[in-house]
Amino acid sequence: MIPNLLFAGRLNREYILPLEGAPIIDRAGGSPLYAAGVATIWEKEIALLARVGEDYPNQWLQNFSKAGINTEGIQIIPGSLDLRSFRAYSEKRELSRSNPVKHFAERKLTFPKALLGYRPPEKREKFKIERHPAIPLISEIPPDYLKSKALHIAPLDFMSQGQLLTTFRAASVPIITLDPSPRYMNSNRRQDLRLFLDGLTAFMPSEEELRQLFWGETHDLWEMAAELGEFGCHTIIIKRGKKGQLLYDAHTHKRWELPAYASRVADPTGAGDAFCGGFLAGFQQSGDPLRAAAYGNVSASLSMEGSGPFYPTEILPGLAQARLDALIGMVREI
């Protein structure tokens, strides 16, 4: 299968204490899956590029296929991989990724044995130089995937994202978007980003990541976006959570603000990834970054109203399009 949309990154196994509802214990997750899951409401012929261990539930892979996601690019490697990811949300929507024992105890919940010995990924990998085995290898990319119409690269380490970019650019994939990892978004790396941004369709950092990249130099988000636009990226999108998104078109120098579509928030996990998935689908269909950003905005709103990568597929028919039509009228040029 030649994918219309391809999502590359790391899958994980989620353990979540959400804003509402019961704890989520061992569910399929990960940035590329949240992006791909929501993209299925807009587009067909979607695929994932990732790696998992032999202990990854086969039923999950079957569920991906049933949802319309091609799994040929998910390599199953010998042995087990620790793909656990823990998140706890407070009533104020504050997120904690560490100390699961404390959070389960505060809520008077039984601590799951599967989380024994858990350490947040940023602590497990802080001093590691070697590549994490869950990151897709370019040598394992199915040939048809190199003919994809559009690719999104989810957050990974700098070198891994660079290798994927180089490979798919060499294959002349026409649309490539990238969500950076906060681990390398600092001022020391800013000039290195020229390697990523030259010719990139869209670069999609969060506001926090962008401010970290320009720490101590400027507080003007538009100024930051304009500098990155000079690196050769077509569109810079700043994800701002409940404040929506800012879009800077480096070709026309136009600036747009998209308010977040008002929706109930049950579980914000993966909302930023859902935005990326919706954007890729919208850009593949329209070639218009502003309309694509509206797709992403609506996708994020749908994702947060429930829980899990495939919750948006359960919505009422026509709801996504209705929200898209409504949001277009709320976008304003700055």
* Other CB atoms within 10 A of residue 138 CB: 15
Facing residues of 177 across strands? 152, 202
Does pTM surpass 0.85? yes
DSSP 270: T
Burial of 255 (C-beta count, 10 Å sphere; 0-12/13-18/19+): middle
The pLDDT of residue 44 is above 50: yes
Encode pLDDT of 216-251 as tens digits.
899 999 999 999 999 999 999 999 999 999 999 999
Q: Given pLDDT bands bounded at 50, 70 and 90, which one contains residue 266?
A: confident
Q: Of residues 228 and 316, which shows the higher confidence score?
A: 228
- Look at strands 255-258 and 84-89 and give their pairing: unpaired
What integer best gives the mean pLDDT of the chain? 93
The pLDDT of residue 128 is above 60: no
Q: Given pLDDT bands bounded at 50, 70 and 90, which one contains residue 130?
A: low
Provide the percentage of residues in the chain whose pLDDT is more than 90.
Answer: 85
Domain range for 77: 5-13+28-84+131-333
Q: Indicate whether 294 belongs to any domain.
A: yes
Q: Indicate whether 108 belongs to any domain.
A: no
Domain count, the chain: 1
Mean pLDDT, rounded, for 134-141: 96
pLDDT of residue 90: 83
Q: Indicate whether 120 belongs to any domain.
A: no
* Domain CATH number, residue 239: 3.40.1190.20
The pLDDT of residue 215 is above 80: yes
The pLDDT of residue 122 is above 70: no
Mean pLDDT, rounded, for 6-19: 95
Q: Indicate whether 63 belongs to any domain.
A: yes
The pLDDT of residue 134 is above 70: yes
